[in-house]
Structure 1
Amino acid sequence: MIEFTKRQSEIMTILKKHEPITAEQIAEMLGVSKGTLRSDLAVLVMTGHIEAKPKVGYFLSKTKDETNNQNVWKQTLVKDVQGLAVTIQRTTTVNDAVISLFLDDVGSLIVVDENHYLQGIVSRKDLLKVTLGNSQATSMPVQLVMTRQPKVYTITADKSVYDAAKMMVYYEVDSLPVVKLEDDNKNKVIGRITKTNIVKALIDMGSEA
């Protein structure tokens, strides 16, 4: 049985009193943005605790079939829903990294070497922190501000979407680099899975039912 986070427990409490209810209404009650709730709602639907219907909203599951829902999502693999990785080199400047963030509309960039091996990750927060009040920072290479490889949370393509969702909620991250472990024990970046990938997969599965 899944152990709820504090926010997931609050969502369940709200649904018990106000179902059916939209994501916008839940977000307003919790004082957060709708986007903030995406991964929590996805996990609760995947584990069979709640259900969702277009133009109706979210409501408590009537079947309580947690095991069956978990099995469905454990059979759906990361490789089935992952997207392309948005990558930059270690020598890319902070200025160019910021441009990449906006052009590709992502929250973080995966830093790789010339062979596409994972070196680190740099987020909007990292770039904002280093540039505030520092006009010289824009010419710095991102390797000076990135989170380095040993501290980057990753996942492999053969893991389940359920595992990916749990990792994102537990570590409070929006995405995970998808890697392949090469013979030299290095992680080669082959993709990226995000909260949006998972939510889209959830919607697609619901529309097929």
Structure 2
Amino acid sequence: MDATFWDIGGVILDSSSVRTAHERFVAELCERRELGDPDAVLETWRAELGAHFREREGTEFRSAREGYERAMAAVGDVPADEWEPIFERALRESIEANPGAVETIEALSERDLHLGVISDVDTAEGRRILETFGVLDRFDSITTSEMVGRTKPDSAMFEAALDAAGVEPERSLMIGDRYPHDMEGAKRAGMRTAAYGADDGPAVDHRLTDLREILEIV
């Protein structure tokens, strides 16, 4: 392999820790602002955030930041300069990397290959997550949906990443956790695929039970 490309959410980032961060954020906000029952506020906040993403057309990009603003408008009139620091602190203190992610990224960065990200995130948010885990500087390229204007499995996402890396798709490995988005999208682009938590199927070349297995695959 000449390159490995990583999804962030569900692969580098433990998605359950994000839910914990959201719970912590809403609980603190309710305590400060007396917005009501934290569980009810959290349900409303999540419903609005989910609706924001479900309403997009096809693979168009929708900013998570705009989704957070919509969710906040639904739960209370709290200015951004008040809720944003609480939100960012809750994420910083709560999010966790999946087992083996950080050490595998560090090990790969010492090898003679391209290390990249292909993720459906806002660019600033993606970079903040990687920085929190201390691996931002390990990556040679970062391709986000905000940069491309589309989300996976749109071929534009994979083509942009491959162009940035200057590598051939058949010598590149995509590591993802969602079958139709990561595995099928990458396979259509001619890449090899490694599924971490994704459903099995013909688009999967390697199935991972531990992210450290990537070191042997590469």
Q: Tell me the TM-score normalized by structure 1.
A: 0.26
More helix by share: 2
Higher relative CO (CA 8 A, sep ≥ 6), structure 1 or 2? 2
More strand by share: 1
